[in-house]
Structure 1
Amino acid sequence: MYISEKSIEVRYAETDQMGVVYHANYLVWMELGRTKLIEDLGFKYADMEKDGIISPVIDIEISYKSPVRYGEKALVKTWIESYDGLRVTYGYEIFTEKGDLSVTAISKHVCVKKDTFRPISVKRQFPEWHEAYEKAKK
């Protein structure tokens, strides 16, 4: 299983009045983690979009463990939890600068045609991605 890592510098705008990262910002960080994972595997999501394919979130689960605070760096670890040629589930762990586990999460996605929202087979339409995901998954 391949695990991608992305370091995030916590910006003031990402925090609430207590100096703690606002809960919805972890979703943005998860997207950064997915993007980094895809790039680590040799691809760019923007190239898929150019071909008229998008990958919406169809389900998300997130569990908050401990806060990340303004001025810290967070570490986002991302991997492919499961993949079946149509749907992909990404796994995430986000750590504080001290190494404490802050968040565990998964997000489920499916690739669809942008104009019709009909699912496509990644295996058929993007065989290189399919092969890379098969090798990298858990």
Structure 2
Amino acid sequence: MDLLRNIGISYFSIEDAGFIMPVVDVRIHYNNPAFFDDELVIETQLPDPTGAKVVFHYKVHNQEGKLICQGEVALAFASKESKKACHPPVFFMDAVHGAEVSV
């Protein structure tokens, strides 16, 4: 959600526009353990959405740069009213295209 906020979109603005984004798939691969009080950096990439599906890719590193885990979360855009899959709204696509954010 921080990625969306950093490109000027909140999840509430998506819902206010009449859309929901249910999770349709989650995958994660653990590479190394994280420990209490580690400072973790989460790198998120959002390739251009295709159709109704949006896939967020994640890599988590510790303060030493060691890869802790990597994974992806797939969400689908759907009409809030009908609950049927649909293409992402124009304002979402406009914000995603060309956005490069570092948090």
Q: TM-score, normalised by structure 2?
A: 0.84
Give the match for residue 9 of structure 1.
none
- What is the aligned partner in structure 1 of residue 22 from structure 2? 56
Letter of the 2:94 partner, please give it.
Answer: E
Alpha-carbon offset, residue 36 of structure 1: 1.1
Question: What is aligned with 2:97?
Answer: 134
More helix per residue: 1
2:37 to 71, 76, 81: 71
Q: 2: distance between equivalents of 1:36 and 1:78?
A: 9
Whole-angstrom distance in 2 between the partners of 1:82 and 1:61: 19
- Structure-1-length-normalised TM-score: 0.65
CA RMSD in angstroms, aligned pairs only: 1.8
Displacement of 1:40 in angstroms is: 1.4
Report Cα offsets for 1:108-130 as digits up to 9, x if no partner. 111112343211221xxx21211
Q: What secondary structure does 1:83 align onto?
A: coil
- How far residue 85 of structure 1 moved from its aligned partner, in angstroms, is 4.4
The answer to whether structure 1 residue 118 and structure 2 residue 84 are counterparts is: yes
* Letter in structure 2 aligned against 1:128: F
Structure 1, gaps ≥5 residues long: 1-34
Verify the 8 A CA contact 1:82 1:90 in the aligned structure 2. Answer: no
Query: Cα 1:116–1:86, aligned 2, differ >3 Å: closer, same or farther?
Result: same
Could you tell me which runs of 5 or more consecutive residues in structure 2 were left unpaired when the two chains were aligned: none
The corresponding residue for 1:100 is 66
Q: State the percentage of identical aligned residues.
A: 21
Secondary structure (helix, strand or coil) at the match of 1:37 reads helix
Residues of 1 paired with 2:47 and 2:36: CA distance? 30
Number of residue pairs matched?
Answer: 100
2:52 aligned to which of 70, 81, 86: 86
Q: How far 1:83 moved relative to its partner?
A: 1.1
Contact 1:37–1:78 (8 Å) recurs in 2: yes
- Name the structure, 1 or 2, with higher relative contact order (CA <8 Å, separation 6+): 2
After superposition, the Cα gap between the structure-2 partners of 1:53 and 1:116, relative to the gap in structure 1 and judged at 3 Å, is same
